[in-house]
Structure 1
Amino acid sequence: MWFGGSVPAAIAAAKERSSVFVVFVAGEDEQSTEMAARWEDEKVTEAASDGFVAIKIDTKRSEPILILSLVQSFVDDDDENPVVCVPSSFFIGDNGIPLEVIAGSVSVEELVTRIHKVKQKEIKKEIERRKTGKEMLEYKRRQEEELTKRMLEERNREKAEERAARERIRQQIAMDRAERAARFAKSKEEAEAAKAAALQAKQAEIEARKEAAQRERSAIARIQFRLPDGSSFTNQFPSEARLEEARQFAAQTVGNTYGNFSLATMFPRREFTKEDYGKKLLELELAPSASVVLLPPSVRSAHQQEHSAPSASGSIEQSRQAVRKRVVEKRGEDFKKEGKIYRLRTQDDGEDENNTWNGNSTQQM
């Protein structure tokens, strides 16, 4: 379990793996031999198998200056003459501060307990580190959202100022024209023309305001989606958005409840085609607000049959006209028309008509 390289290499490995750096200082005494055996026990090896980089320093083979410098970094600065306890075990965190120090030899159970204690310190530190990282990410996200919001507000403000400036210019031009017409009016006709120009300018101003208000209202399309079960939900879209975006929003909301549904309006009655889904909501007259119906496949088939009904009703109407024609023709044979009134024919009627055509009618006299 011991690191095979040098002390600097072991320190670098511990930092790279974000692991606890363990330094075991051993001598040739009996306690050092016992503690070395404790470190190499199966329970200890298993407890320290994850999250530790351990190195063993032999006081006989290592330079005394190296051992003393390591020990001095683990004791208080006020201690000018630190005593090197052999054997010693140091658990050092990534910031160079000892998390735990074991002087002398301890049992396997005590060593395992100390290792778990160090792990708990590292877990708390990792939780705190993650919490700090999460807070930093959240802070960065809020900053980006605030920056985006300010940029959007600034852009909208600039656009509003540009529209207002153009409107002021148009109004000024109209007023200048009206003033010039009034100033140079030399007759009643010219005065009337100036008055009309002023009125036209005023009307243009009113129309411009209406147009601006209409553009403002048309910027957003508020769509109400009506479901076959009678419920509904509403969402707002940019008026420049495509109808397909509204359909995708509805599909995400209802899921697979209504299958591959389509959209339609009831007033006026219209089912949108594939070409319509690529058009803008404003172009389809769905802004500033509209109500659309979700048509499941079964309802859509009935809707299409209903639209094909006029051809059948046309055939029925032709049959009715043929019947009315036969009735009129029959009416001419069995009835006699007097003004707008039809009277049942009699035998005398037939004789009178014959007399007329035979030259016996008084009408020929």
Structure 2
Amino acid sequence: MKWFTGSINDAVATSKSRKAVFVVFVAGQNEASLEVAKVIDSSEISTRLEQDDFVSVKLDSDSESYNFFSQIYKVVPVPSLFFIGTNGAPMEIVADDMTVSNLQMKIDSVLNRVEKAKNTSNDFIKAEQDSTVGNIPGPSTAVVSTSQNNLSTKTVTTLSDTNASSKLQEQDKIERARKLIELQRQQKAEEEKEEEKRRELERRKSGRDVQIARQKQQELEIAIALEERAKEKAQEFAAKERVRQQIAQDKLERKQREQALQKQANQQQSQEKTKNDVPIVADGMTRIQFRLPSGNSHLGKFESTTTLRELRTYVTTNIELPFKRFTMSTSFPRRDLSAEDDSKTLTDLELVPTAVVLIIPLKNTTSIVTSSQGVGFLSRLMWAVFTPVISVYAYLSSYFTGAPVGDSNRPQDNQDEGSSSNSQNRDQSFGNLRRTNSTAGGNIHRLHSGSDNDNDENNTWNGNSTQQM
């Protein structure tokens, strides 16, 4: 099938100029459209539609021309075949039962209707022309009527008048014909003008429709672009949120791993500490080193449940001390082990598994007080007499031996002090008298006395005159 190759407007103009039927085939992408196209492409149908009586065009259902065509003709089935007359009205619409025989019948029907319309128009024009010519009488008829009515001598004059009137009638007829032709020309010009206006309106309408379609297409593209942008933003936000969640999860996992490693390290340290501690106290024994003021030491092994009282008893019975009364304390941290702690075990005193205990001598203040109670007036008098001598002796002794001068070098200003103070000063003075032997070792001097029973004479002194505890 050979379709019209120009535009729709050109096809419409061609059909009107040729006074041919405008044929429009609306096709789609479905199977029915393909079947109808095969029927139209058959030789029986295509040869007839390619004649000069038809101007055939094909419209696709997804084209702009189809949209414009559907706006003019509201109901446009797909597929369908329109036969449109010169006045723009559909003469025949075929939408179903498109077989070769049916289309041939439709084409014949359309051609018959077109032929009848042409014949009717020609008959009407001929009748108008005949009626115009019939109203003008012929010259012979005028002569006969004149001869019958006027048989007078004025026949020649009447004939001449009749000839003149006939000439006037012919001129009138010619004038009327000219006017009729002019009128027809004007009508045709007006029709062409109206047709031109209609074409212009259709062209403008088509342009507006195309512009509206383009605007809608642009709006649709903008909406699609905005939707795509919104989707991209949503995806980007979701990706960032996943990254943040992943970072938070990684931080949490790293923190958990660090805590687990720290816990494991603490457990290992505690286990190692337990392993290191277990062999020492596995037998339940505690090793304690006793240190004496002389620098000697003694190592003892005890049960962890041994009390401090038992520890004192062990010191008294197993260690030879140059003094009877003593107290015990730890070296580091420095803590005195008093009588209140005698009932506590070594574990309670934190002396397990090993510890160092210092043995420190105590002064026998009780004996001093007891001896001072029997001193009377005579003894105080003797003490007042011998005190200057003893002071001089103590000074000389300290000068040659390097020992510090004690309280005996001070003058006794107050003779009315209590018996306890007098007895202490007396004991110190006699102690200075008894310090006749000394042993020097470096800058440390150790003083010896003749009696080992006096606890006040068993202390050691360094070169700075401070007692070593």
TM-score above 0.5: no
| Higher relative contact order, structure no. (Cα contacts within 8 Å, ≥ 6 residues apart) | 1
TM-score under structure 1 length normalisation: 0.29
Q: Highest CA radius of gyration, 1 or 2?
A: 2
TM-score (norm: length of structure 2): 0.23
